[in-house]
Amino acid sequence: MTATDEGAPFPWNDGRRELLRGELDAALFHLYGLSRTDVEYVLETFPVVKREDEAAHEGAYRTKDLILDVYDRMAQARATGGEYRTVLDPPPGEGPRHEA
């Protein structure tokens, strides 16, 4: 076990977790070879998520918007031969843990 594996768990942060889920979802869509149009269709098949998002965020389907934004940035990185860079700060798996 390394020093980074010791200590209390990471703090719960709803916004950070939302971004992590969005990045994972977008990465999996790429992994399975779905086009952007396919991703839009798949995300529309979750009516409960859409309804709850729209109720909580003034009519915006934020989950879909987030995943498509990340999907597009990943697609751009692939098209240009670049590397996708997370917007999370600190990046996943890095940063301090909080006190118990």
Residue 98: band (very low, low, confident or very high) from pLDDT cuts 50, 70, 90: low
Q: What is the pLDDT of residues 16-50, one digit of tens each?
A: 999 999 999 999 999 999 999 999 999 999 999 99
CA–CA dist 10, 99 (Å, integer): 9
The answer to whether 35 and 29 are in contact (CB under 8 A) is: no
- Give 19-73 as a 3 state SS string: HHHHHHHHHHHHHCCCCHHHHHHHHCCCHHHHHHHHHHCCCCCHHHHHHHHHHHH
Domains of the chain, by residue range, sit at: 12-79
pTM listed for this prediction: 0.83
